[in-house]
Structure 1
């Protein structure tokens, strides 16, 4: 398996598939190459792009040098960009969409970008996340209580209690517990974007890449409002709804829109 070395010495594992211009996929919270939507999405995109899937730090086969900072995750993407030849397209989903936008703000080698459902809370269409939410999650993880951290997070994002109970009985719960220590990373990447207030457009004012921001037609109103808000905050962005979709990515439904925009 190929790896790159990030600026702080962390080993980042990745793989490539397909042929064509380089495209880097950025996962959201608690996902990696073999646990989440990236592999299925890569399979749908491989006929058009050379797709780079990677394990974000602390996940899968990648390292996890401490202390973690958002800037180090962007350094990881800089190393992948260099491995891809110095120029690439970029796709990010959920909190990975926020990381992708932050990376494009700093790394001009990402020349075109597609983003799906950044999980901001920009208005009163759902309750704002309390300021104590991230510290509380960090404290649970520090105490070794990954299960409670996961339940707290899933309840916050709207997963019904009975569904969480069923999730705890599946083999995937053990995998999620192993990834739970990285959950605060994504919450810190979101920063202050979950307070029910408008986005600060200066955060992405240096993004030069034309960008497509997408949401699903069946997603909650707050998430659709967040996608629209990000499209308005980015300098060169357009907004599109994928009919019938939710926050759970279905590769076959999303890939055509990604191909159309990135290959334009």
Structure 2
């Protein structure tokens, strides 16, 4: 494990696997960098893979107050530690963070995105506000377990499955990371695309699964319309919980 310092002094932990041109992996909600360790191993024969803990997760720091801009600065610090420029792969809400970072002008050479959860229907902003308000009530009330359960319901997990998870040995670690769910809610905002995408000149690959649902394809189409150099690949038989073995060859081919 290595560490770098973000602009506000926050320590950001990361691992490096492999050699070659760097690619940085950005995780989604409720995850530490461990979620990408299998993917990093698949990519390490082709690239130097930088797998980092977003702030508040794993071995990275978490000073208050939170702001999305601080997470963009965290990614900037990781890219600087990687040599000053890097390709970036973002997973789910981590893909939204990566898009925001690219729009902010970070030195991203290529950008690959797995199912960024943009919600573009008319009811999306109201749902986002209601979720963020309920999540804040859980966290402010000292109920991280309820916050995690709320998140799991929001992504479609059945109630009986959530109750089973609450009795599982892994639940305390999930409660520990629950405060960062508010960070992902802030990254997603009202669910729409962030401004400034027309200025992103790096090649972009948007990846979605054939079994995820129409929202993923709608988000991909919107990104293709907004980004100058974007293309879309559908992974047959995959849903949001993608197989890294299926995804990795597409990512390797795009990174070149």
**After superposition, what is the alpha-carbon deviation per residue over 1:148-185, rounded to whole angstroms, capped at 9, x for unaligned?**
11122211211111111221122222111010000010
Do the aligned residues in 2 keep the contact of 1:25 with 1:52 (CA within 8 Å)?
A: yes
Normalised to the residue count of structure 1, the TM-score between the two structures is 0.92
**After superposition, what is the alpha-carbon deviation per residue over 1:77-97, rounded to whole angstroms, capped at 9, x for unaligned?**
111111111111000010000
2:159 corresponds to: 161
CA distance in 1, matches of 2:242, 2:174: 18
Q: For 1:17-32, what aligned pairs fall within 5 Å after superposition?
A: 17-32=17-32
SS at match of 1:16: strand
What's the offset of the Cα at 1:116? Answer: 0.5
What's the offset of the Cα at 1:240? Answer: 1.1
Aligned CA RMSD, in angstroms, stands at 1.8
What's the offset of the Cα at 1:205? Answer: 2.5
Higher helix share: 2
Q: For 1:1-264, what aligned pairs fall within 5 Å after superposition?
A: 1-34=1-34, 36=35, 38-123=36-121, 129-193=127-191, 199-200=192-193, 202-263=195-256
SS at match of 2:153: helix
CA distance in 2, matches of 1:98, 1:200: 9
1:196 corresponds to: none
Normalised to the residue count of structure 2, the TM-score between the two structures is 0.95
CA distance in 2, matches of 1:44, 1:124: 39
What's the offset of the Cα at 1:44? Answer: 0.8
Unmatched 5+ stretches in structure 1:
194-198
CA distance in 2, matches of 1:28, 1:86: 23
**After superposition, what is the alpha-carbon deviation per residue over 1:28-75, rounded to whole angstroms, capped at 9, x for unaligned?**
0111122x2x10110111111100001100000100011110000010
Unmatched 5+ stretches in structure 2:
none
**After superposition, what is the alpha-carbon deviation per residue over 1:168-223, rounded to whole angstroms, capped at 9, x for unaligned?**
12222211101000001001100111xxxxx4463423212110001011112222
User: Which of 108-117 and 199-208 deviates more?
Assistant: 199-208
User: Which of 127-136 and 9-18 deviates more?
Assistant: 127-136
Number of positions where the alignment pairs a residue of Structure 1 with one of Structure 2: 256
What's the offset of the Cα at 1:108? Answer: 4.1
SS at match of 2:79: helix
Assess, with a 3 A threshold, how the Cα gap between structure 1 residues 165 and 23 changes in structure 2: closer, same or farther: same
CA distance in 1, matches of 2:126, 2:226: 20
Do the aligned residues in 1 keep the contact of 2:6 with 2:73 (CA within 8 Å)?
A: yes
